[in-house]
Amino acid sequence: MALATCDSIRATGRVDACDMRERFVRWYREGAYTVSGLFDVGGTTADALSSGRGRLGERDNGSLMRILPLAFADASEDEVHAVSAINHAHAISCGACVRMVRVARRLAAGEGPREVAGDLAGVPEDEVRSGGFVLDTERAALWCLANTSSYAECVLVAVNLGDDTDTTAAVAGGLAGIAYGIGGIPDEWLDALLGKVTIDACLF
């Protein structure tokens, strides 16, 4: 869905939630933007894309893991809200997406990981939750960023928190990618990356 977001911005030259939704549906129904077809989809996302209405679950974190491209698209906060609401429309989910885009822009402007993460540096791991509640995901990703010093360390710490590891690692990894750049990603990880042609074709 992050690739579909990027491809929409590339193709339209703007933030167009309707176009993004159509691309998300293609991903869901046809396996667009995947290497070998759809691997998995959350129930909330599947329901939202099937019905055409964003779901209103107050705990949902699915839009947070695909929102970071908007940090580089001059998206307004209303546009970030609208893109989140394609599948996760509750104010808590949309608000977390708005805050995460702000954090990403601060990193892109040169602020350090600990600066953008607030008071999370040094917080014990047992005080961090990595579950499906969007506010837990937001905090866990920022905690990973604040308490590590490289891209690889940030992602591995996120995965090792357990529970909703794919979402937490996607968000933390996105932030770490901004903080440390592509040069901070281990070569062996880049060499093993699948779908490079598709990824390159979607970037704007």
pLDDT digits (tens, 9 = 90+) for 143-190: 999 999 999 999 999 999 988 899 999 999 999 999 999 999 999 999
DSSP for residue 63:
T
Number of domains in the chain: 1
Per-residue model confidence (pLDDT) at position 53: 93
Q: Any alpha helices (H) in 52-150, and if so which ranges?
A: 77-84, 91-108, 113-116, 134-146
pTM of the model: 0.94
State the virtual CA torsion across 88, 92, 98, 99 in degrees, nearest 10.
-140
Q: Is the pLDDT of residue 42 over 90?
A: no
Burial 106-139 (b: 16+ CB within 10 A, else e): ebeeeeebbebbeebeebeeeebbbbbbbbbbbb
Q: What is the CATH number of the domain that holds 31?
A: 1.10.4080.10
Residue 57: per-residue pLDDT: 86
Encode pLDDT of 49-73 as tens digits: 999 999 998 888 999 999 999 999 9
**Residue-number span of the structural domain to which 54 is assigned:** 2-202
- Distance of alpha carbon 20 from alpha carbon 87, whole angstroms: 11
Report the pLDDT value the prediction gives residue 39, as an integer from 0 to 100. Answer: 87
CA distance linking residue 63 with residue 87, whole number of Å:
7
Lowest mean pLDDT among 52-66, 77-91, 99-113: 52-66
